[in-house]
Every structure is written in C-alpha cells, then in structure tokens.
C-alpha cells in the first residue's frame, strides 16, 4: 500500500473514533476486487461530486475502483431529464421515439465502455438500460439517488423492466424505494470533510473570496446553494426573504449553477433574476460546477443556510452547511428530513411563511443558532461523512461478491 495509508489516515481527525481501522479491515476482505461506477456526468450534481472523492480513496484501500461516464446527445439528456421529473412525480410526455432513442444510446454506451467488474454500480436512470448488455460474471447493482416514492406510472413501468434484471438496488432513503423482487439496500450519500468544498478555511481566505464575489459581509447573510431547478424553489426563498426583511436587515445569496445533464437550468435562472428584481440585497450567483472553495466560503460566512426544496433526492448542501456549524432551514422533503433533526440542528418547513417565521426566530436567538450549529456538525460527523459511505459500499462489495 505504500504511502496510500496517509490518504485515509488524514480522516482520523474528523471521522468518529475507530472508523478508519474498521475501514482498513473491511478493505482487506475486498482487496483485489474490481468495483466499477457508471453515471452520466463527471461534473455538476451530487453524484459526480461524491464519486470524485470516493473512487480514489477506494483505490488507496487496494480496491480496483473505476468510474466511467456515458455519452449522449441533447435529445437523450432531454429524455432522461423528463425521466427524472416523471420518477419524482411530475407528469411528462414520453413518445415511443424518445424511449427507443434512450435504449439506443444505452446500447451504444455499453458497446463503447463494455462495463465489467466484480461489482458494477449503475447510478440513476440515465445508464440503467446498460444492464441489457451485462457480461455473465460480476454482480450489477442499480444505485438510485432520486425519490421514487410517487413515480409517474408509465415512466416507472418502462424503467422497472430494466431494474428487475439487476442483482440488487440501493436507495438513499427507505421512503424512496419501490416494491421490487430483489434485495434493496439503504446508503445515505455523504460529504468529504477534506475536499475543497468542506475543508477548513482561514478568515482571510473567506474574506478574499467574498470580496471577489462582491458580497459585503456587513449584515447577516441568508444563503441557499443549489442548482437553478424548480424543485429547489429559489423563488420561494426570495419570497421568504422579503417577509423577513420587514423585521431584520439581512442579505440573501442564491448560489448555484447548472449540471451538464440538466437542460432546464438557464430558464429557471432567468426566472430567479426576474424575481430578485433590483433589490440590492439579493445576490444571484451563477457559479461554475467547480466553484467548491467559493461555496465553502459562502457557507462559512452565512448566518443561516436554507434549502427550501419542494422535492429532493438527498440535498447534501444541508450536511455541508451543518458541517460548518450552521443552523439549516429546509423543505420537509426527501433526505432533508434525515439530515435536519427538527429543533436540534435546524427546522423543516412546508411554506414560504413557515420558512420566514423560522428565519426570524433564529435571527432573534443567536445562542440557539450556535447550539444548533454544534449539534449539526456532530450529526454530520456520525452519519454523513465519506468514511461512512465507504464503509457501506465496501460492505456491499464484500456481501454481494462473497
């Protein structure tokens, strides 16, 4: 293993006691096995971000870990975006031509990548149909990061045919899963505490980045970090801020960008800019997908972090903010409900008025904000760090390929 132990050893300071030794023992049992991840984008979005960190650490632990990305044309990604929305409960129209093209692109990718390994983890709907070209050896697992609790029937019926051919499925929350005649596993996503987005920063570093973004820090900052996507409800956040503004002089920062596989981003961004209007205290930042340090600095300088999603896969921006000791107010949906312990690390809300009420309550109680921030950081340490994620994936590898 040479110096690779140093890589994993760096986590001893942040992970719960005993975690790293357990990981090293687990890795011994899985050593030499090939673990392949396949998804639809290398940049932008939570899945890519997690894989960027997980795959190299697996390699350090002696697992042959690889990560392949499928290719597709705009038509393919328009179809998979429609799938994404349909599986999360929004009615969409699917033509036979769309579904046929989806299968065609999957076939072409299977031909090009020839995915194989002791364990092949296929992430989300985009590459799901690659299962049709699986080799006879190795176990294939479908890793679903989205909320499948109330899918549009037609979309799910189409996708389910492919999912049934996998050896197992992995979901981020019990509520997201569907009835399937195959083993299902629960794995929470995670953040990497040593990544650019979450590492410690000096006051000077933070100040410099805020100055570059032209955001003064002379009043409390309310922050939402997320892609410009209607499910993240950025307009609702602006409306909540307006209600708060009558009582507290605050600033609102909406920081986000697009993901390579999301064609709707630009339109939502335009709507957000229009809703922000000429308010000098509302900042709408369209950041590139690699703006990790900027996001880190923004989260560290925020007074309260918001994630007012109406639908959410998991919403790791919540864990990121709590890791930095911030109270979080989030939509009562998806993985946000597992991350926010109500009244302990933050609050979940169902409306613009509820969101504004909780922001005002916190702004009036600085001691409570501090206490929630500390509780949040500890909650993340125990449940949402990359070291725990590794443990889950290695356990899956050992269990399924035993």
Q: Is 121 left (phi over 0), alpha (psi -120 to 50) or beta?
A: beta
pLDDT band, very low/low/confident/very high, at 258 (cuts 50, 70, 90): low
Task: Tell me the average pLDDT across 104-121.
Answer: 97
Tokens linked to 218: 């002379």
Residue 275 confidence (pLDDT): 96
Q: What is the CATH number of domain 203-383?
A: 3.40.50.2000
* Residues in a beta bridge with 284: 254
Residue 324 confidence (pLDDT): 98
Residue 6 confidence (pLDDT): 54
pLDDT band, very low/low/confident/very high, at 13 (cuts 50, 70, 90): very high
State how far the Cα of 18 lies from the Cα of 251, in Å rounded to an integer. Answer: 42
Q: Considering the chain, what percentage of its residues have pLDDT values greater than 70?
A: 97
Tokens linked to 276: 């922000």
- Nearest alpha-carbon partner for 126 in 114, 149, 139, 108: 108
* Residues in a beta bridge with 348: 330
Whether the domain at 4-190+385-400 and the domain at 203-383 fall into the same CATH topology: yes
Tokens linked to 29: 């049992």
- Nearest alpha-carbon partner for 261 in 110, 100, 72, 105: 72
On the question of pLDDT at 5 being above 50, the answer is: no
- Give pairs for 57-60: CB < 8 Å, separation 24+: 57/7, 57/8, 57/386, 57/390, 58/390, 58/393, 58/394, 59/4, 60/1, 60/4, 60/5, 60/7, 60/8
On the question of pLDDT at 201 being above 70, the answer is: yes
Q: What is the pLDDT of residues 31-89, one digit of tens each?
A: 999 999 999 999 877 899 899 999 999 999 999 999 999 999 999 999 999 999 999 89
On the question of pLDDT at 401 being above 60, the answer is: yes
Residue 79 confidence (pLDDT): 96
On the question of pLDDT at 3 being above 80, the answer is: no
Task: Tell me the average pLDDT across 310-335.
Answer: 94
pLDDT band, very low/low/confident/very high, at 2 (cuts 50, 70, 90): very low
Task: Tell me the average pLDDT across 98-126.
Answer: 97
On the question of pLDDT at 184 being above 80, the answer is: yes
Instruction: Give the position of tokens 């972090």.
Output: 305
On the question of pLDDT at 4 being above 60, the answer is: no
* Residues in a beta bridge with 39: 69
Residue 1 confidence (pLDDT): 32
State how far the Cα of 9 lies from the Cα of 1, in Å rounded to an integer. Answer: 13
- Reduced to 3 states, what is the DSSP secondary structure of residue 294? helix
- Nearest alpha-carbon partner for 144 in 113, 187, 193, 179: 187
- Reduced to 3 states, what is the DSSP secondary structure of residue 186? strand
Tokens linked to 153: 């029937």
Architecture of domain 4-190+385-400: 3-Layer(aba) Sandwich (3.40)
On the question of pLDDT at 128 being above 70, the answer is: yes
On the question of pLDDT at 205 being above 90, the answer is: yes
pLDDT band, very low/low/confident/very high, at 140 (cuts 50, 70, 90): very high
Residue 259 confidence (pLDDT): 62
Domain ranges of the chain: 4-190+385-400, 203-383
């Amino acid at each position: 293993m040479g110096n690779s132990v140093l890589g994993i050893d760096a986590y001893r300071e942040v992970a719960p006691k005993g975690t790293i030794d357990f990981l090293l023992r687990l890795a011994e049992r899985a050593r030499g096995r090939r673990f392949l991840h396949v998804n639809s984008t290398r940049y932008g979005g939570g899945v890519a971000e997690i894989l960027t960190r997980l795959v190299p650490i697996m390699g350090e632990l002696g697992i042959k870990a690889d990560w392949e990305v499928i290719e597709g044309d705009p038509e393919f990604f328009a179809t998979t975006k429609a799938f994404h929305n349909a599986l999360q409960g929004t009615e969409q129209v699917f033509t036979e031509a769309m579904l046929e093209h989806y299968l065609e692109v999957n076939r072409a990718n299977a031909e090009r990548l020839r995915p194989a390994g002791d364990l092949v983890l296929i992430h989300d709907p985009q590459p799901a149909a690659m299962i049709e070209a699986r080799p006879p050896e190795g176990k294939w697992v479908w890793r679903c990061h989205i909320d499948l609790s109330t899918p549009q029937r037609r979309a799910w019926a189409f996708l389910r045919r492919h999912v049934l051919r996998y050896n197992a499925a992995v979901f981020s929350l019990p509520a997201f899963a569907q009835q399937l005649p195959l083993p299902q596993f629960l794995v929470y996503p995670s953040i990497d505490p040593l990544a650019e987005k979450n590492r410690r920063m000096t006051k000077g570093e933070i100040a410099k980045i805020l100055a570059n973004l032209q955001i003064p820090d002379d009043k409390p900052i309310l922050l939402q970090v997320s892609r410009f996507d209607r499910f993240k409800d950025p307009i609702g956040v602006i409306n909540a801020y307006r209600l708060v503004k009558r009582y507290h002089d605050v600033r609102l920062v909406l920081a986000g960008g697009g993901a390579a596989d999301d064609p709707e981003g630009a339109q939502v961004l335009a709507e957000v800019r229009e809703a922000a209007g000429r308010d000098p205290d509302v900042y709408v930042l369209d950041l590139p997908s690699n703006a990790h340090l900027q996001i880190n600095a923004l989260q560290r300088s925020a007074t309260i972090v918001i994630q007012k999603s109406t639908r959410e896969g998991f919403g790791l921006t919540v864990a990121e903010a709590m890791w930095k000791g911030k109270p979080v107010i989030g939509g009562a949906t998806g993985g946000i409900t597992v991350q926010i312990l109500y009244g302990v690390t933050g609050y979940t809300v169902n409306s613009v008025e509820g969101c504004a009420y909780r922001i005002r309550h916190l702004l009036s109680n600085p001691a409570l904000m501090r206490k929630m921030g500390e509780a949040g950081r500890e909650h993340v340490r125990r449940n949402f760090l990359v070291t725990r994620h590794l443990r889950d994936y290695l356990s899956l590898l050992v269990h399924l390929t035993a």
